Structure 1
Amino acid sequence: MKENLKDFLFNLFVSSLIGLFVGMLEVTITNMSSMVAATLITDSLIGAFIGTISMFAFIYIFEMKEMDIKIAFIVVFMIIGIISSTPSIYLYFVQNINISVIRLMSIVISAEFLGMSFCYYSYKKCLELNSKLINKKKQFSKK
């Protein structure tokens, strides 16, 4: 019963995210302009930059420096927050364009949630892969 409830809630969550994505796609397509296209391309590039920097920082801290996983997650959290808020801060201080706090918070919160979720997922996948590799290593050493 408990497993069925977990499966139901997971399905509900993923399905709602898919619905949200489809709705956002619909709103974007119906309101498409050159400004919207430029914003989407810029946001995509910023996301790629954040993901790359976060991945390298995580690997460096956790794997190379062998520090605690919590420190690695905190660093990734800070990287995501700083880089995702940088364009708004640039617009405010350099171009004197007022930014909405609600808009900035929606960007930072959604970037943090999605980025940290992806970081955690990647971490779990690496742990799973390492476990499989250790098992294979043990199998070969027994032979």
Structure 2
Amino acid sequence: MKKNLKDFLFNLLVSSLIGLFVGMVEIIIRNMNNEVIVTLISDSLIGGVIGTISMITFIYIFQMKEIDVRIAFIAVFMIIGIISSVPSIYFYLVENINISILNLMSILISAEFLGMSLCYYSYKKSSELNSKLISKKKQFSEKSSDS
């Protein structure tokens, strides 16, 4: 029963997010103009920069320096927040365009949620792969010691 409830809630969440995404695409298509296209391209580039820097940082802190995974997650969280805020801060300081706290918060919340979800997913996948590799290594070492 508990498993069915978890499956139901997971399906509800994913389905709701898909519906939200479809609605956002509809709004974008309906309101498409040059400004929207430029914004989408710049946001895509910023997302790519954030993802790349976050991945490199996580790998460096957790795998290369072997520091606690929580520190790596905190570093990624901070990178996402700082880089996501840069365009708004630029517009405010350089272009003298007032920024809405509501807009900035919506950017930060969605960027943090999605970015940290991707980071956690990548961490889990690499942990599973490492476990499988360690298991295979043990199997090979057992076979070679038996010979």
Matched, 1:6 2:6: yes
The residue number in structure 1 matching 2:90 is 90
Amino acid at match of 2:74: I
TM-score by length of 1: 0.99
The residue number in structure 1 matching 2:120 is 120
User: Could you tell me how far apart the structure 2 residues matched to 1:6 and 1:132 are?
Assistant: 27
1:102 deviates by 0.4
Task: Name the SS of the counterpart of 1:78 in structure 2.
Answer: helix
Alignment of 1:7-26 (within 5 A): 7-26=7-26
User: Could you tell me how far apart the structure 2 residues matched to 1:136 and 1:28 are?
Assistant: 49
Q: How many matched pairs?
A: 143
The residue number in structure 2 matching 1:30 is 30
User: Could you tell me how far apart the structure 1 residues matched to 2:32 and 2:69 are?
Assistant: 42
Alignment of 1:20-59 (within 5 A): 20-59=20-59
Task: Name the SS of the counterpart of 1:96 in structure 2.
Answer: coil
1:141 deviates by 1.1
The residue number in structure 2 matching 1:131 is 131
TM-score by length of 2: 0.96
Q: Which runs of 4+ in 1 moved over 4 A?
A: none
1:95 deviates by 1.0
1:142 deviates by 1.4
Unaligned runs of 5+ in 2: none
Task: Name the SS of the counterpart of 2:45 in structure 1.
Answer: helix
User: Could you tell me how far apart the structure 2 residues matched to 1:101 and 1:7 are?
Assistant: 36
User: Could you tell me how far apart the structure 1 residues matched to 2:12 and 2:109 are?
Assistant: 21
**Could you list the per-position Cα deviations for residues 26-48 of structure 1 after superposition, in whole angstroms to 9, with x for gaps in the alignment?**
00001100110110000000000
**Could you list the per-position Cα deviations for residues 72-102 of structure 1 after superposition, in whole angstroms to 9, with x for gaps in the alignment?**
0000000000000000000000111111110
Unaligned runs of 5+ in 1: none
Q: What's the Cα RMSD here? A: 0.5
User: Could you tell me how far apart the structure 2 residues matched to 1:52 and 1:125 are?
Assistant: 17
The residue number in structure 2 matching 1:140 is 140
